[in-house]
Structure 1
Amino acid sequence: MKKKLFKRNGGLLLQQQLSSSDGSIQKTKIFTSKELEKATDRFNDNRILGQGGQGTVYKGMLADGMIVAVKKSKIVDEEKLEEFINEVVILSQVNHRHVVKLLGCCLETEVPLLVYEFIPNGNLFEYIHNHKEEFEFSWEMRLRISTEVARALSYLHSAVSIMIYHRDIKSTNILLDEKFQAKVSDFGTSRSIAIDQTHLTTHVQGTFGYFDPEYFQSSHFTEKSDVYSFGVVLAELLSGQKPISYERSEERRGLATHFILLMEENKIFDILDERLMRQDREEEVIAVANLARRCLNLNGRKRPTMREVAIELEQIRLSKGALHAPQSRKELENIRDEVPNVWEIAGPPTSVTIGDFRNGTAPSLDVQTLISHETW
């Protein structure tokens, strides 16, 4: 029966994918069903860490005492199996401190299982939107987390042997470890493409409120589509507001639209999370708001690359002063070293300063197309 389940759950497809790789895929540990049942107390409900569209994640402890997260797929059908095997293959190629580490999988169970490193502090969405008075979600922490996520995406886009598009960047897919450092997770819908390709043509997938309207129109997913989704996460971090809210008017239901319209109206301070207003970091906040705005440009070609985003965020961190400068400079060099190709930026972007918002001279944007797609 276990052999039959292994075959049905994509074991042969996984073996084929691993054997046809160019050697960049690390050895994936195959766990037995007995090991994982014992680790999760037979998948006890009190071990559930979270649930999503693709399955349920349980906290487990292996025989050697290692704490892990076990992802149990929801449905066994051909499409889900391809996503499952896809996640195994992609994560086997990735080795980055801000990407969740895949430890192995189990295919001899009724539904396939993935085993990850355990990330103890939940996801970014919880810290942005569930205000906990005992926990100060500071600007410095938000800026550092956004920089770490940008570095991870820059690595996926530019530094691995095959370019990887995540395709579902959102705050619930950004986990926080014991030091509250970011770990990008959930690669079930990710795709890897050859370096000489510029886009994927796919059925539109993603999370409403985060996906690129240009991708929605064309079905062409590019690296700049991940940039757009990251821009929404930046807007979340700045505003403390959810990507979709029915409390806002219909045309402003999507946070991206609402955020850009407020910038156009020189009212960015109207949307800022009140927790940030008390921290006297206006210049840095406006610099990140300008960056988010460029990430949300309707024209994908005018958006920065994730590499450019990562370096700019680190430069904003560096501007904080001499106290944090040595570490920040080192991290800035690390970003440049992580990606071997030449860093090219077309030119200085149009920026908005604090004074522009105070005196009403911020440049306008054409947001009509974005409005129509986010109200769809």
Structure 2
Amino acid sequence: MRTLVVRLDSMGDVLLAGPAVRAMAATSDHVTMLCGPLGREAAGLLPGVDEVLCWEAPWILADPPPVDPDEVDLLRKRVEAGMFDRAVILTSFHQSPLPTALVLRLAGIARLAAVSTDYPGSLLDHRVRVEEDIPEPERALAVAIACGGRLPDGDDGRLAVRGLAAPTDLPVPYVVLHPGTSAPARAWPADRYRDLCEHLSSLGLGAVVTGGTDERPLTAYVAGASGTDLGGTLGLGELAGVLRHAEAVVVGNTGPAHLAAAVGTPVVSLYAPTISAERWAPYGVDRVLLGDQHAPCRDTRARECPVPGHPCLSGVTTDDVVTALGTLGVRPSEPVGRSR
């Protein structure tokens, strides 16, 4: 049995598909994951993935390329060459699986499953219905089960990754601060992160600041003289290793929050309610959500904050985060000392 699992958007979305991937892998001889360029590295970390195909989908990405008939036909040919018996198309509530389903059907895949609000006609064999506000991993797992997947015995359905590697010269114990986000509307102010970094240092806790290559000025500012700046130095597997050995992670609603959940590290989630916390908060891990979940930006899916003053997160103080860390067991005199 050859299976294709499709999740065409970002790194966090691909990580949230992990339980569904494992369910398909448990009933397959080979699993290929089709993802977008933002999710390629994450797909390679998922247990159960044997091969990764990458394609930019003009009907999924926030900054989409134009529809190119030749590129779409190239995708069809690549999928056809895979000789897949079935495919699951994993989407969020605001995305349609049907354009992808059409390409996969034309590529000869006989059995397709997805959640679809719109009538799919002959494009889907399994039109899955789910509750509105369920966590994304459970939504994806429902699709996998409808297409014959099942979690293996002993699999708890949480997020997971493989291939972890971490630097060895980090302060112990330490908390990871990840100040960057893919959307400015989800960002806690940088000066708050810097104050938190200095405060943690004064309490005898290391503060390790992480971010992408394009976030180096931000991570350098946040780390200042008191933190360890790893901005732009880590691949995704290395970042996962750094998160794995942290006492906790302080992060907005962005991909590394889900990576922290995948390695089992507690999360202080600075969560702007532009998208549903019920669907997108860190899954299956100890967490504290901070931020006004009833702010006027709720459910707007805004990328830039639509409310003057960014009230949903600007009201969160450094002391609030320190208190949340304590709730998760992170204390300067008694570090968590979790099993590594």
TM-score, length basis structure 1: 0.29
TM-score, length basis structure 2: 0.31
Richer in helix (by share): 1
